[in-house]
Chains A and B, each alone.
Chain A
Amino acid sequence: MTDAAVIMAATGLACRRGERVLFRGLDLDVRPGQIVWVRGANGRGKTSLLRLLAGLARPEAGRIERDAQRERVYIGHSNALKDDLTVAESLRFLTRLHGFDTSAEALDAALRRFGLHSRRAAPVRTLSQGQRRRVALARLCTAPAAALWLLDEPFDALDTEGVDALNTVLSEHAARGGSTLLTSHVPLTLTSLAPITLQLNEAVAA
């Protein structure tokens, strides 16, 4: 990697879904403290791009360089929660899985940030969609400070209070030097986030 300050750099990235090339020749670099807002109409490959960057899929062409020291947190469309576990158990499992801090204080603080502390013993089955999203997002607060966050539609199903909580968490993360790549079909509401916009262009037929 040429520039030490670049957390993740992608060059000439192309992604194909079946016969359709979603994007090609995509260049991207993410630096500490940046928030990158990936925009584009439905089906333009926002989710596919995030999955490529997370390492869940391999690009059709191009390469991705990552700072190996930095943890990555990927939160997709689905919340990765189990109906039969409680809120606290779910968060603990997801945190432990990635080897992050699973101390009771860290988990409690994370749940408090998203206003779920009173529901920590409730089974996930009894939660609404917005509350489930909050549990999934609470995991961000247990990750190491400088981690790279890859968030796919994090504002989905959140109410105003939830959006505010996430905005605060996002701006604190950026202030600490952490970077975020996110997709959102609603405009970002907190102006202090100052996102860099990455527009995914027209899909091209193969």
Chain B
Amino acid sequence: MTAPVFSAVLGRDLRLAARRRVDALLPLAFFAVAVSLFPLGVGPEPNTLRQIAPGVLWVCALLAAMLSVTQLYAGDQVDGSLEQMMLAGGAGTLAALPVAIAKAVSHWLLTGLPLVLIAPLFGVMFDLSGRSIGALCASLVLGTPILSLLGGLGAALTLGVRNGGVLLILLIVPLCIPALIFGSGAVSAVESSASARGHFSLLGALFIATGLLAPIATAAALRIATE
């Protein structure tokens, strides 16, 4: 029963994104613009830029993910699709679990993955070494799914709330701080020729814990929001 819900929702979301390419590209454009502002504001000193690069890239990735996640469930709730998805998931508290997972996966494919792919370009702009750029991509591969999962939770919790977007950022950004610290920490460690293994292990652990818990919490929040 759950397999068709997951694949049907994921397939539809990707198709919708393909129909609205401009909307799908906005988070990426936001990331590019925000990251590009830092060299202009801070000044073109290569050492300074190298030093701030991991933090800047990670913070901008986090904000891009949060901005794009606010509408994850809102449209589907307004037009009744969300009800249908939950009914298809069966009765019970966790009826929305396949929907929650499908939405997080589609959000990651549409914002997380593109961020991972264009991050090297911005790493070069900040004059990061090849190894640091590799670490940046690896940290984003592990970290952006955490942002999508937590963002989905925030979107479900703020469903139907006025100014939900602002509330979502206030609720969820604190939860993203560990991912931000270990993600940018991993890149900084590689940049200063130290071992990044600890950072990556913690980031991986965070990913697993979020992957296990966030969809359940999201499903419960969706259940409350549609009742």
The answer to whether B12 touches A56, judged by C-beta atoms less than 8 angstroms apart, is no
Distance in angstroms from A129 CB to nearest chain B CB is: 13
Q: Does B45 contact A (CB under 8 A)?
A: no
> Which chain A residues border B4 with CB–CB below 8 Å?
96-99
Interface residue count on the B side (C-beta < 8 Å): 26
Distance in angstroms from B131 CB to nearest chain A CB is: 43
B79 touches which of A54, A79, A98 (Cβ 8 Å) = A79
The answer to whether B16 touches A82, judged by C-beta atoms less than 8 angstroms apart, is yes
> Which chain A residues border B5 with CB–CB below 8 Å?
97
Instruction: Rank and list the top 8 A-B pairs by shortest CB-CB distance, nearest first.
Output: A78-B80, A84-B19, A80-B80, A55-B91, A97-B88, A96-B8, A97-B8, A80-B81
Distance in angstroms from A77 CB to nearest chain B CB is: 7
With the chains together, A78 CA to B81 CA distance in Å?
8
Interface residue count on the A side (C-beta < 8 Å): 23
Q: What is the chain A residue whose CB lies nearest that of B86? A: A56
Majority-rule SS of A interface residues: loop
With the chains together, A74 CA to B95 CA distance in Å?
15
With the chains together, A80 CA to B11 CA distance in Å?
16
Residue in B12, B16, B75, B85 whose Cβ sees the most chain A Cβ within 10 Å: B12
Majority-rule SS of B interface residues: helix
With the chains together, A124 CA to B8 CA distance in Å?
18
Known: A96-B4, A99-B1. A85 touches B16 (CB 8 A): yes
Distance in angstroms from A59 CB to nearest chain B CB is: 11
With the chains together, A76 CA to B75 CA distance in Å?
16
The answer to whether A72 touches B19, judged by C-beta atoms less than 8 angstroms apart, is no
Q: What is the chain A residue whose CB lies nearest that of B92? A: A55
> Which chain B residues border A56 with CB–CB below 8 Å?
83, 86-87, 226-227
Contact bitstring A55-80, B, C-beta under 8 A = 1, else 0 = 11110000000000000101011111
The answer to whether B12 touches A85, judged by C-beta atoms less than 8 angstroms apart, is yes
Q: Does B15 contact A (CB under 8 A)?
A: yes
Known: A77-B80, A84-B20. A97 touches B85 (CB 8 A): yes
